[in-house]
Structure 1
Amino acid sequence: MGSLPALPCTTGNPVRPARCRTDRSGHDSPTRTVIRPAVTHLTSTPGIGKRLLSLIYEVLLLTAVALLAGSVAAELAQAAGAATPRMITQMAVALTTAGYFAWQWHRGGQTLAMKTWRIRVETTAGARLSLPRALLRVILSAIGYGLLGITVLWALLDRDRQFLHDRLAGTRLVRAV
């Protein structure tokens, strides 16, 4: 009886090739056993110091945007004769800031400051954030930082060094390559 042709022993992943059982002739056995390595994450969490420096840079960048949005909103509110121009201005600044973060996190996982410090936000499964999830992260982070930085204290105690708002939103910060 003739032998079966040898099957190539590959997993389709050139980084992690499979190991195959071979027959006595040294060829791959048609009834091979493929041993797949355990899945490991190739990402790591950026340090808390790096994340706080990114946050400071973010505040500096957004100050100019907030001043512009606030000025435009104040002028429009005054021109329209609004009874509460200050509240309208504050809402415009808050919505501009929230929109900036949510859009950038949804679009590519990084704001300008995060790109500079090589930090990216993704879901815990490693996917891009949906717009609703990005908005949830904005709201939760604002609450966390507003409560005397509880989100930073949480990161010091968290086993993966993730912020509280990331845990609650199902997101994580990783080092961008």
Structure 2
Amino acid sequence: MNPVNLAGEPSGTARTENTPAAANIPTLRRRLAAMVYEGVLLFGVVMIAGFVYSVLTQQRHALAGRHGMQAFMFVVLGVYFSWFWARGRQTVAMKTWQLHLQTASGEDVSQTRAAARYLLSWLWFLPALLVAELAGWHSSRDVSGALIVGVLAYAGLSWWMPQRQFLHDRLCGTRLVHLPRAARSR
């Protein structure tokens, strides 16, 4: 059995910059807090995008053309996340919570990988929405309950993933790391 050093690697193993120490793996609480803050910030993005869509399409009623609006919002959010992840490795909420997105090998994320991560991140919601649809649940209370249970179950999956990353990160070869401001300045 090899002795383990303070960083958690077997002694004699050099820790590279691409291998995060256990201290650099963000806690589930930090990642969920960043997600909630991201939701608050996205409210403004969605409001502006909704206004632009309704003006461009002359939409007079919220339910008229709602599928077009949903598709437009899906694209707007995809552009928002992909652009931030590929350009600066973090959104505004991620910057606040000191989270960085990188590939599994520690490199910058490409535009294609960022778009794939956006698409796969819908795994947070799609299984719960599918269960609600198949069960015939249409009230907002039932759908909201399914979403809450689904999101908590998805977050809980991170306990069984390597480095406690989320399933969508594992599938597209990315990971979140916690880099405090002091560590970035070095």
Whether TM-score is above 0.5 comes out as: yes
Q: SS of the residue aligned with 1:128?
A: coil
Runs of 4+ in 1 over 4 A off after TM superposition: none
RMSD value, Cα: 2.2
Letter of the structure 2 residue corresponding to residue 162 of structure 1:
Q
Percent identity among equivalent residues? 37
Q: Is the 8 A contact 1:71 1:89 kept in 2?
A: no
Give the structure-2-normalised TM-score: 0.69
How far apart, in 1, do the equivalents of 2:154 and 2:26 lie? 15
Long gaps (5+) in structure 1: 1-35
The structure with more radius of gyration: 1
Q: Which residue of 2 aligns with 1:101?
A: 81
Equivalences for 1:71-150 in 2 at 5 Å? Answer: 71-78=51-58, 85-147=65-127, 148-149=150-151, 150=153
Q: C-alpha displacement at 1:51, in angstroms? A: 0.4
Q: Which residue of 2 aligns with 1:155?
A: 158
Q: C-alpha displacement at 1:42, in angstroms? A: 4.5
1:61-116 superposed Cα distances (whole Å, 9 cap, x missing partner): 0011101101210221127xxxx622221122111111111110000110000000
Letter of the structure 2 residue corresponding to residue 103 of structure 1:
W
Long gaps (5+) in structure 2: 1-11, 128-149, 181-186
Give the structure-1-normalised TM-score: 0.72
Q: Is the 8 A contact 1:151 1:165 kept in 2?
A: no
Q: Is the 8 A contact 2:25 2:178 kept in 1?
A: yes
Q: C-alpha displacement at 1:50, in angstroms? A: 0.5
Equivalences, count: 140
Q: SS of the residue aligned with 1:59?
A: helix
How far apart, in 2, do the equivalents of 1:39 and 1:176 lie? 16
Instruction: Report which of the two has the higher share of helix.
Output: 2
User: Aligned pair 1:60/2:36, yes or no?
Assistant: no
* Worse-matched range after superposition: 150-159 or 131-140: 150-159
Letter of the structure 2 residue corresponding to residue 86 of structure 1:
R
